Amino acid sequence: MSTLRIFNGRIIDPANGRDEKADLWIRDGVIIETPVDGTKADEEIDAKGRIVAPGLIDIHVHFREPGQSHKETIGTGSQAAAAGGFTSVVCMPNTSPAADNAGTITLIREKAATSSVVNIFTTGAITKGLAGQELAPYNAMVGAGIVAITDDGHCVQNHEVMRRAVEYARMFGLVVLDHCQDYSLVGGGVMNEGEWSLRLGLPGWPRIGEEIIVMRNILLADLCDSPIHCQHISSGGSVRLIREARARGVKISGEVCPHHIALTDDHLQTFDSNYKMNPPLRTERDIEAIIGGIADGTLDILCSDHAPHAKYEKEVELDQAPFGILGLETEFGLFSDILVHKKKAIDMARLIELYTSKPAKLLSLDRGTLGVGAQGDVTLIDPDLEWVYDKELSPSLSRNTPFHGTEMKGRAVQTIVAGKTVWSL
């Protein structure tokens, strides 16, 4: 038996409504009651000045295995996750081949079991080959261990197919995650449609390309009485639609990536592909609306959309570069800096809730809590630490980030999975 005592810290455990100074004990990887018999721990961590939070969860990452391990592997991705304070991540199924069958899911889980330093949860595709035509075998994929379905990177355009997916997924208690993008409106869009796309002569990706699918999903969630989660919300209009629908009791939710509140479309003026995202960076107005949505609870999931790409793949003409950036190491710091410190939209306890109990509840993960009996996943956070991100220190195999050199306030400083430290500053 091995025991760990974390003392002197401020425990914030939103799942159990705790915010207090107390000790946290973990025995053999599981959280236990604080012993009253004067037991000595095998290992002790002094968490003075730090928050002791449930291990952070990111429900939207791309680890590129199988198929594109030159960008990232499950092993390197998991190390990046740990370095960002994450003890659990949920991988998207747009691997190569796509995770649209039990065999590929099993392969990913086996890789994770041998190479990952954090908990890896997997999703399965909504449709075979992410092609938007035929439903993937949900029963078999559930058997292999998926926690949700999504065609992320793609969006099911056929509303009938999407309806049946939502209806069918309900039978397995699966939440449908959706990358909201109407292809007919977006076309070859590479950046937000607006003044900057006009100036730069780049094809625009209009907000309604997202909003029309968010609205579609609201209608389907209502019709099927089943949850749909809209991924990486970028538009102020989407926030308004989700807010109104949730007020009516529709099972719709949304998530936010830090780049969508940290950056605007004018960053594209240098044609730097590190600012090319899908959905794209938008405007200050959208940022205000998204932050308002986080503040009032409309949007209660935060994530990275961690999307590694090799340097040579990004170092091409902008319209030919792939979408996406790294995110795991910078997301908590950016959200802490913007939401908690600069905008004061939420407090640190709420930020932790959005990264722990909320995602755990959405996907029914047995994580995100410091309750007795839970797995001993813990993130120690220094809420006021001022730091600068250096991409060259990243354990990721890729370096595609616009946040190199960015100053932030607030950082995860130690990541503990099942009672074992897997990363510390």
Partner 1 sequence: MSGWTRKDLLGLDELSAEELRIILDTAKAFKGVGERSLKKVPALRGHTMVNFFVEPSTRTRTSFELAAMRLSADVVNISATASSLQKGESLKDTALNLEALRADIIVLRHSSAGASRFLAERLQASIINAGDGAHEHPTQGLLDIFTMIEKRGSLEGAEVAIIGDILFSRVARSNIYALNKLGAKVTLVGPSTLVPKAFEKLGVKVAHRIDDILETADVVNLLRIQHERQRKEYFPGIGEYIKLFGLTKARAERLKPGCLIMHPGPINRGVEIDSDVADGDRSVILEQVTNGLAVRMAVLYLCAGGVGLPS
Is there a contact between 208 and 237 (Cβ–Cβ < 8 Å)?
A: yes
Question: DSSP letter at 418?
Answer: T
d(Cα 202, Cα 190) in Å, to the nearest integer?
A: 7
Residue with tokens 């721990």: 41
- Cβ closest to partner 1, residue 7 vs residue 271: 271
Instruction: For residue 63, say whether it is annotated as part of any ligand binding site.
Output: yes
Nearest to 208 by CA among 190, 229, 193: 193
Instruction: Name every residue whose Cβ is closer than 8 Å to that of residue 248 and which is 6 or more positions away in sequence.
Output: 222
**Tokens found for residue 220:** 């389907």
**Tokens found for residue 25:** 């004990």
Q: Which listed residue (13, 178, 305, 337) is catalytic? A: 305
Instruction: Name every residue whose Cβ is closer than 8 Å to that of residue 160 and which is 6 or more positions away in sequence.
Output: none
Instruction: For residue 42, say whether it is annotated as part of any ligand binding site.
Output: no
Residue 148, classed as helix, strand or coil, is strand
Residue 292: CB minimum distance to partner 1, A: 24
296 annotated active-site? no
Instruction: For residue 179, say whether it is annotated as part of any ligand binding site.
Output: yes
Is there a contact between 311 and 400 (Cβ–Cβ < 8 Å)?
A: yes
Residue 235: CB minimum distance to partner 1, A: 16
Instruction: For residue 94, say whether it is annotated as part of any ligand binding site.
Output: yes
- Cβ closest to partner 1, residue 286 vs residue 331: 286
Instruction: For residue 390, say whether it is annotated as part of any ligand binding site.
Output: no
Please give the residue ranges that form the binding site for partner 1 (CB under 8 A).
187, 194-195, 198-202, 270-271, 312, 315-320
d(Cα 161, Cα 163) in Å, to the nearest integer?
A: 5
- Cβ closest to partner 1, residue 87 vs residue 235: 235
Instruction: For residue 332, say whether it is annotated as part of any ligand binding site.
Output: no
Instruction: For residue 64, say whether it is annotated as part of any ligand binding site.
Output: yes
Residue 208: CB minimum distance to partner 1, A: 14
Nearest to 122 by CA among 369, 143, 361, 131: 143
Residue 184: CB minimum distance to partner 1, A: 10
- Cβ closest to partner 1, residue 114 vs residue 320: 320
Residue 96: CB minimum distance to partner 1, A: 19
- Cβ closest to partner 1, residue 209 vs residue 376: 209
- Cβ closest to partner 1, residue 194 vs residue 359: 194
d(Cα 334, Cα 85) in Å, to the nearest integer?
A: 13
d(Cα 36, Cα 39) in Å, to the nearest integer?
A: 7
Instruction: Name every residue whose Cβ is closer than 8 Å to that of residue 202 and which is 6 or more positions away in sequence.
Output: 190, 191, 268, 318, 319
Residue 200: CB minimum distance to partner 1, A: 6
Instruction: Name every residue whose Cβ is closer than 8 Å to that of residue 118 and which is 6 or more positions away in sequence.
Output: 78, 81, 82, 86, 87, 88, 89, 415, 417, 422
Instruction: For residue 306, say whether it is annotated as part of any ligand binding site.
Output: no
Residue 57: CB minimum distance to partner 1, A: 37
Q: Hey, what's the torsion of the CAs at 51, 57, 58, 63, to 10 degrees?
A: 110
- Cβ closest to partner 1, residue 145 vs residue 203: 203
For the annotated binding site for substrate, the residues are 62-64, 94, 278, 309, 323-324
For the annotated binding site for Zn(2+), the residues are 60, 62, 152, 179, 232, 305
Residues annotated as catalytic are 305
For the annotated binding site, the residues are 60, 62-64, 94, 152, 179, 232, 278, 305, 309, 323-324
